[in-house]
Amino acid sequence: MDDWLAHLTALGGRQSGDRDWAFPNGDNGSASDAEHLVPLTHLSILECDGPDAARFLQGQTSANVEHADGDFAPLTAFCTPKGRMIANAEVLRVSAERYWLLLHASLAASLATQLGKYAPFYKVKLSHREDLALIGMIGSPASWASAAGVTDLPRLDWHMTQQDGTVALRQPADRPRVMLILPASEAAARWESLSRSAGVADTALWRRADIDAGIAWLTADHSDAFLPQMINWEALGGISFRKGCYTGQEVVARAHFRGQVKRRLRIASVEGTSPPAIGDEIRNAEAKRVGEIFQAVNGDTPEECPALAVLNTSQDEESELFVGGRRLVLRDLPYPLERLDPESVVDGNVTA
């Protein structure tokens, strides 16, 4: 991993405190039809390996692990007994007894500690795979295949392919977005090959695509603060209500079936040249606190910053909203705010 980070530094990259990389001439999120290459150093892989890996994860995660079949890579959440999320992730089955959990890098160690409490009862080994690198590709998939090292890139969101030690994972966005997960020792050479036909972009470009897609990835600042439904995780297929028990399942199910979710994720734009911080309070015109900022990045123009906000469901849609005196304007979500059963995605009844 040190060689990979040294390569990014040699390109003029600079890492910020939130694990993003920025480049002197990098794209910080402006709209463009060009292909972009993005270092995804804010994400990481926690591996669960062993004969009991599937059974072990099945008792801890909101996804049905059987759906992770090496093609479909379901979203999931890991919760406390009170239903609050410790972390959210995507589950990748990379071999018969090995699963990768894709999540924010700041949560890999704490999730490993939490899951490690139960691991002694199973034949599994948990490892934070810091020897892996993640590279994002935004643009036409056809133009990437040869240099990416995976000739058959996934065509559906939340699906994966793998070849010769490299995993390719498709993520939702207005433009095709594919993530490569590969040995860190190969990352510099792969980056150089890919960059011959793509521009280098800041990590913020990828995070902005997540915001535009209404996808909220928890960081250490969010852990143990939200029910999965508060970040619309069931609307993205991240909760299986048909599987058996898992830690926190009773609370998550009760909140769903009794309509007890009082806060919801929204996409928004915030006035100003710098993004608000995670947890900044959102207030209405009467100065009443009605929500908080989940995440925000720099935008196309210096006048606004794209953001994800968690708001009270009782909040009047027409009311003016403010963050530290700056106006916040809500935008539409790109998906319906209703339950999406992952079983229907696996069965092919809806597109992923």
Q: What is the largest CA-CA distance in the chain?
A: 58
**Would you say residue 331 has pLDDT above 60?**
yes
Confidence of residue 115 (pLDDT cuts 50, 70, 90): very high
Range scoring the smallest mean pLDDT among 122-136, 144-158, 338-352: 338-352
- Judge contact between 271 and 327, C-beta under 8 A: yes
pLDDT reading at 214 higher than 70: yes
Checking if the pLDDT of 168 tops 70, the result is yes
How far out from the chain centre does Cα 34 lie? Answer: 23
Q: What is the mean pLDDT of the chain?
A: 92
Predicted confidence at residue 348, as pLDDT, reads 54
**Cβ contact 295:303 at 8 Å:** no
Residue 271 β-bridge partners: 304
- Both tokens assigned to 27: 């794209």
Which pLDDT belongs to residue 97? Answer: 97
Using a pLDDT cut of 90, give the percent of the chain over it.
Answer: 80
Residue 318 — very low, low, confident or very high, per pLDDT cuts 50/70/90? confident
* pLDDT over 50 (residue 351): no
d(CA 298, CA 234): 28
Confidence class of residue 300 from pLDDT cuts 50, 70 and 90?
A: confident
pLDDT of amino acid 347: 60
Neighbours of 83 (CB within 10 A): 21
198-207 mean pLDDT: 92
Rounded to whole angstroms, the Cα distance separating 335 from 31 reads 21
- The alpha carbon dihedral of 108, 111, 117, 122 has a sign of negative
pLDDT at 352 over 60: no
CA distance 41 to 134: 7
pLDDT, position 27: 63
CB atoms within 10 A of CB 204: 25
Residue scoring higher pLDDT (1 or 82)? 82
Mean pLDDT of 101-118: 96
